[in-house]
Every structure is written in C-alpha cells, then in structure tokens.
Amino acid sequence: MIYVREGVYEENVVIPSCKTNIVLIGDGSDVTFITGNRSVVDGWTTFRSATLAVSGEGFLARDITIENRAGPEKHQAVAFRVSADLAAFYRCTISGYQDTLYVHSFRQFYRECNISGTIDYILGNAAAVFQAYNIISRMPMPGQFTVITSQSRDTLDQYTGISIQSCLILATNELYRNSNNVKSYLGRPWRLYSTAVFLESYIDDFIDPNGWRKWSSDEGLDTLYYGEYNNYGPGSVTDDRVAWPGYHIMDYESAYDFAV
C-alpha cells in the first residue's frame, strides 16, 4: 500500500505490469492531486500522455485526484490510462479535457468517482463499469462538440464495453450556458463494434436529443451496440434518438447483461 499525503504532486507516474496488487490511497480527492500536462500537441502520443499510467494487475486507487491540465487547445491529453486487469477505483476524481480517462484494456471498476472532460473523455477497449459516478462535460474549444464515451471494441468476439450505471450525466455551468450552441453526446464509435450503455442514470438536458454521434462516416452504425435503459432526467427522452441498427432502447434482460 502506498499512502499519498495531502498535496499537489506534479509528475507523470507509470506503474508497469510487473508491479501487481498496488494500492494507492490519498487523503481525499479534494486535497491529494497527481497532476501533469502532457499532450499530443506537445509531441506525446495519446498513450504516452497520461499523468498516471497503470498496467499492474490488481491495482486499487482511493481518495485521490488525477488530472491533466493541458487544456482543450492541446487536444488529446490523457489524465489516467488503465491497462491493468482487475483494477478498481473508489472516491477518485479524474480531470482533463480531451481523452481524460483511457480505459485501455482488461477489466476495470469505478465507484463513486468524478470525471470531467470535453471530447471522448472515456475512451478505450476495456470491460469498464462505472457506478454512482458524476460524469461532467466541460466547455470545449470554439466549434467543437462534447462526447462522453468513445469505446473501441474492434471484433465481435471481444467481451469489452463501457457500462454506465446509476450515474449523473452533468455539465459545467459554462457548458450549460452555451448548450444551445455546443452539441453534446453520450458517445461515438471509435471502432466497428463500439459498445456502450447507460443504465438507470440521470441525464441532464444539455445532451442533444439524438443522443449519439457518428465518427466521420456511417461505418459501424450497424455493428456497434449502444443502449439506454430506464434513465431519467430531461436529457433521457429517447423519442428523437438516432435510428441506427446498432442503437437499442434496452429491456431489463439485455440491461442485466451489462450490470454487476
């Protein structure tokens, strides 16, 4: 177990696959910060831009904030990349703009955390479950839109996807004030079999009535799986949602397959 005292730690941390079962505990996500500012604009790849990158199986983090301060003008700038199996996170805050949380691979569980970002700010091809989360979209650059999920499942036989359960889908005050001019979406497909569901969550009215957005073409719209089940709030109305073959208004049985 590693105890991280109250403070601001300006560094980029890598926990390799050979370091397993590490527990990282802070004094609280309001007082313990690991912060960085790497970005694609400054010459880093998306994968290497992470403030904290974890590959060791069995990783657990609690009561800590991980952030990337690069800003929306620096485009892809990961705060947290997780490539670790059986990883879990409790009462953490993950803060950034584009590509905030890279759920890269394997099985991951997030509970009672906060995440903020602009474009594709939960992305990757893990089997990732989020429960009781505050998911907060931020104001992007002029002319941009916001997207929460960008899941990248690329073959039918993978058991991966993003499952968002009993969460709050919110926006910052700045984005709320500009929501008539800035479109916001639940997700868009990074790969052909992109999979993401929103279950029993509150969705505020800044989300566009279409709900979901194409990437750049119609590719994948018949092979992806996007679903919504029993959500509530003014942005949860599905009457004007996309009419893609891969979009589903789910029933209990299909939603159950994505729950833990």
Using DSSP, state whether 148 is helix, strand or coil. strand
Q: Is 117 helix (H, G, I), strand (E, B) or coil?
A: strand
Catalytic residue among 120, 239, 251, 257: 120
Choice among 30, 42, 63, 99 that is catalytic? 99
Q: Do the Cβ atoms of 23 and 1 come closer than 8 Å? A: yes
For residues 77 and 68, the answer to whether their CB atoms sit within 8 Å is yes
What phi-psi label fits residue 129: left (phi over 0), alpha (psi between -120 and 50 degrees) or beta?
Answer: beta
Q: Which helix (H) or strand (E) holds 102?
A: strand 101-103
Q: Is 154 one of the catalytic residues?
A: no
157 labelled catalytic: no
Phi, psi values for residue 177, rounded to 5°:
-65, -25
- Catalytic residue annotation: 99, 120
